[in-house]
Structure 1
Amino acid sequence: MTASTSTLSPHEADAPPMTPGQQRKIVLAAVIGNLLEFFDFTVYSYFALTIGHQFFPADDPITSSLLAFAVFAVGFVMRPLGGIVLGRYADRAGRKPALTLTILLMAIGSASIGLAPTYAQIGLAAPVLIVAARLLQGFAQGGEFGAATATLLEMGGNASRGFRASWQLASQGAAALLGSGLAASLGFLLSADTMHSWGWRIPFLVGTLIAPVGIYLRRHIREEPPAPKALASRDDPKRGLYVRNWFLTIFSIMGMSVATYVMMYYMPTYCIQYLGLPSKMSMLAGVASSTISLVMCPIYGAWSDRMGRRKPLTIIGRVALIVLLYPAFWIMTHYPSLPVVLAALIVLMLCYTMGSAPAYALMPENFPKHLRAGYMSSAYAIAVSAFGGTAQLVASWLIRETGSKMAPAWYMIGCVAISLIAVSMFEETGNKVLD
């Protein structure tokens, strides 16, 4: 990757360089905002069964849950559009205005779900309102990833890029921990009838707090000038390379996205419906998975700054995940108890985070600054929309069609294998200076 050059405006040229303290504020704002946005978007999955009963009533509880998971997947439909529109906005107008806009849109969507009347109250208008809110959240989330990842990568020295970028995934783990922890706490504090009646709304209403908190964090920081546009033309000799890397990014994210949404968000439902574990205890599966993600991602990211991004960490982590998925699900299905499930998930998450955290630096480092947010947002949105957002729906459908509780493992193995091939084709960037 070569450094891009451009002529700065007088205002940009006269601006003093940012201090390390100012850069840390930007990184902190990106991490916290990303955490809050992912919490708003993904907390739906922890209450999918209740939402299914409230908004998609059916004689068969499995059908009701499938409809609820289908609406969860609908939220990903708008991600590619949000990735393209908001990603390009971040490259042209700057990271800060794009991040501020996404957090406001996400809060509106969360409030709409938390305040929505049920099917029993307003009929078909209720599920329509839920779908509309999920579409708005999906549009916002599509633009969040690229802008936040680019910000984490660019704000600071070259020696710690992997550590900073890993907080993109770590903050997703923190969001999942916040969601699963809140779900588990409510399950223990409230009765089943109370949870079914109004308790499930609490996390979505809490999620609306991201608007004032997130906007304050992101507006009261200084940002570097927008990236130069000199190389944005169709005559850029490296345009073909960027397009190739864009496709590799899609397939690299694909497998790990499926693993994320199955192991971190689908497992509580899987434990309840197919392993017969109590709902209050099953929520702890999500807590365990998200805790490992939060703790291990920064560690693996820091190691990648010294050991390299692609090899050995990313490749070894994904190979280990492929090898261990089948034995882990076999043990969980044959010895369905909470200690067994937690132990299996912890081992799988250790492999998952090793294979994913360094890649969150590797992928954006393969794009120049003036294209980074746009390419990353659109690639991530497409991959997650097509595979991550549908992972829970596909897993439930495969179990129903095949009659095998092992179906989710086979699905993840295939997807992660494809992502392993894709990530191995990236150029190693851990020891290079970015433009």
Structure 2
Amino acid sequence: MPTCSRLAPYFFAALLGGLTAGCVTTTRVAQTTAAAPVLDVAKELAYCAAQARKTVDQKSNYTRQPRRIGAGKAQWEYVSREDWTSGFWPGTLWYVYETQPTAFWKEKAQGFTQDLAPVLDHKTVDHDLGFQFYCSYGNGYRLTKDPAYKQVLLRAADSLAMLFNPRVGTILSWPRMVKQMNWPHNTIMDNMINLELLFWASKHGGSKKLYDMAVSHARVTSRNHFRPDGTSYHVAVYDDKTGQFIKGVTHQGYADNTMWARGQAWAIYGFTMAYRESRESEFLDRARKSADIFIQRLPADQVPYWDFDAPDIPNAPRDASAAAVVASALLELSTLVPDKAAAQGYRQQAERMLVTLSSAQYQARDQSPAFLLHSTGHKPNGTEIDASINYADYYYLEALLRLQKLQQNKSLSVVEK
């Protein structure tokens, strides 16, 4: 792919209305003279609280978590605490409590959060403990300082660390896939998000080794999980004994050589967070390269198709969850890049995405108690296609809170350092 980085080192390639033709860059995005559309953040936060209230009013106890609402349906399908997404609903409730700090919301957030604790009584079966516990207990600890929450987080971090392979330098994501797919040691891009649990624990009484594991995982992922153009594989497969990188493949994207939207979103979010925690320049560069190619290839409304290379575009399903993850990540990235033009570009891009997500086209409103429509979970498996999904709602609300904090000149820390 040609580059024009010398001519325009901070060229913003994706504006509403389409892509800029001609020379593009895969290494830097940034400045645009067009102002971002105005978003009434307080209004959208109130909308999320009202939608969440619909769900809690329908749920009589704290067991089982809302996960998805299928296309054309109006009610949540619920999952057990063992489901990888089980931390998103309690995390969403903590965010609602942050916007409306009442006893009602605190009680609901606490109830769903505490239901997750028994997960740690069982053998660690995959990498998702960060999603499950950092989103729930992490936000709970940030907002309440409950020492019991801190102990659960430290325990979760130690459990996650059990999957770290020092010969490879990364966490084993899916133990079940070792035999099922003949992937001796597999690491998926989603795992980058779970590193935040390790970073946090290393600073709050956990072992320093947790920090080292997180940095190692990010380094190895940065060097093996990406193609030259900045797009990422979903899965990196390694020899579990030598640590040698074997191949990059996809599991939830269209093909091994395509850019699966949510996988690329995890990369943007994960490496932004890894840079915040470690200040390793490699991670900032990787976050920016991942973001730039994502932004460059967005459709006009700024919400990606489930895979940027799906053969049936423009009729392919969208993935609002990927847009929500990226919007949140770009807001934080805008606070970390060294130049003001780039920072402004990333923030304006995030605001454009949030404007679209907050429109009648993407908000559920009266259709269901979810926040957002039009997410895609696992298209190759035929599941959660054009659906409402709990992690889309979680990151959408997180992005709105981050934008509000930026407007108020506050820290964006999801969990207090």
Which TM-score bucket, shorter chain as reference?
Answer: under 0.3
Structure with the larger RCO, 1 or 2 (CA within 8 Å, 6+ apart): 1
Please state which structure has a larger fraction of its residues in helix.
1
